[in-house]
A and B are shown apart, each in its own frame.
Chain A
């Protein structure tokens, strides 16, 4: 499979008033053509930062200390703002987490979609409006002609989310970065939107990086899953392998903490401890303080990858 997106050994720090935050360390991901890859983990694990890095949206407090990001042949990390802008829309698009803050509050939503189309797609001016309305209809917004004239504050949160998604899908991007695309939507709308994203990936050329904290959602829709913890990818592999033969203790705990239809209260297991403070010196394995299988050798570098199945890798000395 040809890779649409390769994130290779990305390490990144943020300079803040309270010290340097080691947000990502040696993060690698690949996204093949037509594939849906899930990035799962708790808040603070580095999922969204990875997405922002891919889109070239990091601000100047971010120091990239190592790595490459390759998007369909183009290098992202040293690209000029113009070059990045040329990629956005057609090559890559992003669904942001909070539609209320991501949309322009004082511009009608239809116009906002037209802006994207004008900037990034080769569409005659007189067809912009029609295209924008079609984009709204695709995400099942009822009465799209009327809704196109609405301002974000006139729409419900779920409706804003759909506008956001319509905007990202408007130019049929080769790579879609979906950062918690269905947060705030009800389950039935979530299912409709995720089916749409899956169908676009399956039928065409869109590849999707799905960032979510919901293992159930990733499990249903993704071909492969990467599990992140405290800025590390700790395990990556085919969805089925991750869900049924997970090798990293953190993946196991995450699964045990996620209620499924079969879960009973006694089966539900809380993950002990919390994420380490990324501003402090960090142990080699950032999970070690929360790990039951920890041995003294875990504190010695390097933290190498181990193969535990076809296309299934884990970053642990004592995998399950």
Chain B
């Protein structure tokens, strides 16, 4: 199997936020030197718990906020040269689209479904001809299995599953190369989630898009992604092929994460739990492993040298001295 062509490549991507009321010059390290590659047609999962920097990474990669440092290349071209404000008018804007977490809150309540899907076509692709727009809106609706009679409805007149379809239709209408899915099913019931997951798998086949799938539900990530990156306190601590990462996690945090997935098969069988809390993301010690304070394995070196990602298997890397 040959590796797919690179679609998106982030290098040393970082986002720091100044801390209000904190020490002078204190910065919150939301995303810290993240390297991430998404191949053409590839589905990459990004997992981690709340506060680990997943959402900031999504915003950076989607060019919704400017990085503090680092670069993002799309098809080999640096898209971080222009500021976020100017990127909005770039032709590359339409190539990266996001499906947001809550389909209820991310739709404009005063837009009918038709307008919600037509809006990005007009703004990002400059479509003016009403017949063209209508054809594209209908095609997007058909692709996501949204009945055409719903195009004249408002979001509040739709079910949760239908709203999720509108969110996806709106994102794929402009035919992006990369679709970033930020917890697309976390607000949905399992029965609806199953429908949306199957739809996403089918759309990727049909349209050849790449996915960056962000989720805290590891079983869902496992279904849809061929590679997974695990984030902890702003850093990618492990990245590798889905099966290898789930069956043989090399970073202790990944192991804790995988071990915490509820599993009826392990009923009553006590497992080591990840206790305590992450260390503060405000100016963390650059020499200490971010996971040091919670790690069951930690050694002396972990407090002196920040571990970098290193190869631990085929296409598999972990940032741990002891991996």
Binding site for B on A (CB under 8 A): 42-43, 140, 142, 156-158, 184-192, 194-195, 213-217, 219-221, 239, 243, 253-254, 256-261, 263-265, 268-271, 274
Which 3 pairs of residues, A with B, have the shortest CB-CB distance?
A: A219-B264, A186-B49, A271-B191
Contact A42 B260 (CB under 8 A): no
**Which of the 9-residue segments B100-108, B119-127, B213-221, B295-303 touches chain A?**
B213-221
- Give Cα A239 to B267, complex, Å: 10
Instruction: Please pick, from B159, B219, B256, the residue contacting A188 in the complex, using a CB distance under 8 A.
Output: B256
Contact A265 B190 (CB under 8 A): no
Instruction: Please pick, from A187, A258, A270, the residue contacting B261 in the complex, using a CB distance under 8 A.
Output: A187
Contact A195 B276 (CB under 8 A): no
A186-B50, A216-B262, A220-B266 given; 8 more Cβ-contact pairs under 8 Å: A220-B264, A257-B193, A259-B219, A261-B222, A261-B263, A263-B219, A268-B198, A274-B161
The answer to whether B189 has its CB under 8 Å from any CB of chain A is yes
The answer to whether B34 has its CB under 8 Å from any CB of chain A is no
Instruction: Please pick, from A219, A253, A261, A274, the residue contacting B219 in the complex, using a CB distance under 8 A.
Output: A261
Q: List 28 A-B contacts (CB under 8 A).
A: A42-B191, A142-B276, A158-B50, A184-B50, A187-B216, A187-B218, A187-B257, A187-B260, A188-B49, A191-B259, A192-B274, A192-B275, A195-B270, A195-B273, A213-B190, A216-B264, A217-B262, A219-B262, A219-B263, A220-B266, A256-B194, A257-B190, A259-B217, A259-B220, A259-B222, A269-B194, A270-B194, A274-B159
Query: Which among B191, B224, B275 has the greatest number of chain A C-beta atoms within 10 A?
Result: B191
- Give Cα A240 to B241, complex, Å: 32
- Give Cα A13 to B264, complex, Å: 35
Interface size class of B (residues with CB under 8 A): 35 or more
- Give Cα A239 to B263, complex, Å: 12
Which A residue sits closest to B271, measured CB to CB?
A191
- Give Cα A256 to B198, complex, Å: 13
The answer to whether B51 has its CB under 8 Å from any CB of chain A is yes
The answer to whether B197 has its CB under 8 Å from any CB of chain A is yes
Given A191-B260, A261-B222, A140-B194 contact (CB < 8 Å): no
Given A216-B264, A219-B262, A271-B194, A265-B223 contact (CB < 8 Å): yes
Chain B residues within an 8 Å CB radius of A42: 189-191
Chain A residues within an 8 Å CB radius of B148: none
- Give Cα A281 to B126, complex, Å: 49
Contact B197 A265 (CB under 8 A): yes
Chain A residues within an 8 Å CB radius of B192: 270
Chain B residues within an 8 Å CB radius of A140: 275-277
- Give Cα A265 to B223, complex, Å: 6
The answer to whether B246 has its CB under 8 Å from any CB of chain A is yes
Contact A270 B264 (CB under 8 A): no
Contact B191 A265 (CB under 8 A): no
The answer to whether B19 has its CB under 8 Å from any CB of chain A is no
- Give Cα A142 to B278, complex, Å: 10
Chain B residues within an 8 Å CB radius of A194: 262
Q: B181-220 interface mask toward A, CB cutoff 8 Å, 1 = contact, 0 = none?
A: 0000000011111110110010000000000000011111
Contact B219 A216 (CB under 8 A): yes
- From 129 to 168 in chain B, residues with beta carbon under 8 angstroms from any chain A beta carbon are 159, 161
Which B residue sits closest to A191, measured CB to CB?
B260
Binding site for A on B (CB under 8 A): 49-51, 159, 161, 189-195, 197-198, 201, 216-220, 222-224, 246, 256-257, 259-264, 266-267, 270-271, 273-277
- Within the complex, the shortest CB–CB distance from B28 to chain A, in Å, comes to 13
- Within the complex, the shortest CB–CB distance from A305 to chain B, in Å, comes to 24
Chain B residues within an 8 Å CB radius of A254: 190-191
- Give Cα A243 to B262, complex, Å: 14
- Give Cα A185 to B266, complex, Å: 21
Contact B262 A220 (CB under 8 A): yes
Chain A residues within an 8 Å CB radius of B218: 187
Chain A residues within an 8 Å CB radius of B194: 256-257, 259, 268-271
Which B residue sits closest to A158, measured CB to CB?
B50
- Give Cα A229 to B219, complex, Å: 24
Chain B residues within an 8 Å CB radius of A243: 264
- Give Cα A195 to B262, complex, Å: 11
Given A239-B267, A260-B219, A268-B197, A188-B51 contact (CB < 8 Å): no
- Give Cα A258 to B197, complex, Å: 11
Which A residue sits closest to B266, measured CB to CB?
A220
- Give Cα A214 to B259, complex, Å: 17
- Give Cα A186 to B219, complex, Å: 14
Chain A residues within an 8 Å CB radius of B195: 270
Contact B275 A261 (CB under 8 A): no
- Within the complex, the shortest CB–CB distance from A202 to chain B, in Å, comes to 9
- Within the complex, the shortest CB–CB distance from A278 to chain B, in Å, comes to 15
- Give Cα A213 to B224, complex, Å: 21
- Give Cα A148 to B189, complex, Å: 35
Chain B residues within an 8 Å CB radius of A256: 194
Chain A residues within an 8 Å CB radius of B267: 219-221, 239
Which B residue sits closest to A182, measured CB to CB?
B262
Which A residue sits closest to B276, measured CB to CB?
A142
Chain B residues within an 8 Å CB radius of A221: 262, 267
- Give Cα A219 to B270, complex, Å: 15
Which B residue sits closest to A257, measured CB to CB?
B194
Given A217-B262, A265-B224, A270-B198 contact (CB < 8 Å): yes
Which A residue sits closest to B199, measured CB to CB?
A270
- Give Cα A246 to B189, complex, Å: 20
Chain B residues within an 8 Å CB radius of A220: 262-264, 266-267
Given A188-B260, A213-B190, A264-B223, A142-B273 contact (CB < 8 Å): no
- Give Cα A261 to B247, complex, Å: 10
Contact B189 A43 (CB under 8 A): yes
Chain B residues within an 8 Å CB radius of A190: 260, 262
Contact A188 B257 (CB under 8 A): yes
